[in-house]
Amino acid sequence: MSKEVVKKETNQVECVPRREEIIPSTAVRQEKDGFLLVAEVPGVCDKSLNVTVENGVLSIKADNSVATPEGYRIALREISAVTYKASFELPDRVDPAGVKAVLKNGLLRITLPLSEAKKPRKITIAAE
């Protein structure tokens, strides 16, 4: 757990959370029409989440929220401030324009569809 102890001018000691940068736990599954990437990002809301595809690289960056509501004072904090960061090189057959992301219950689900030109197709054979 990363905390810095800060001595205030009033001689009070306060724990100040320091933001850690970690790689989220992920799983990638190949499906019929592409891939599904699932990343664990607990404590993250959609406003602090950034998913991009640039030059064939999928990047995820997200911050969890550990803000103290106004008018409250934290007596003990064991939840660390975390920045989740991960990058994945995408296969050429993934269509970057079709990438979709959904955040639900701390799980980020990213759908990576195959481009139509790269999907396997069955060739019909004509008999003569």
CATH of the domain at 38: 2.60.40.790
Q: Is the dihedral of CA 38, 61, 64, 69 positive or negative?
A: negative
Number of domains in the chain: 1
12 domain residue, yes or no: no
- For residue 75, give its domain range: 22-115
Collect all residues with Cβ–Cβ distance below 8 Å to 22 and sequence separation of at least 6: 82, 83, 84, 85
121 domain residue, yes or no: no
Please state, in angstroms and rounded to a whole number, the distance separating the CA atoms of residues 75 and 57. Answer: 42
Task: Record the pTM.
Answer: 0.74
User: Does residue 2 have a pLDDT over 50?
Assistant: no
109 domain residue, yes or no: yes
124 domain residue, yes or no: no
pLDDT in tens, 4-39: 554 445 555 565 657 789 999 999 999 989 999 999
125 domain residue, yes or no: no
66 domain residue, yes or no: yes
Specify the pLDDT at position 80.
Answer: 81
Specify the pLDDT at position 7.
Answer: 47
User: Does residue 75 have a pLDDT over 70?
Assistant: yes
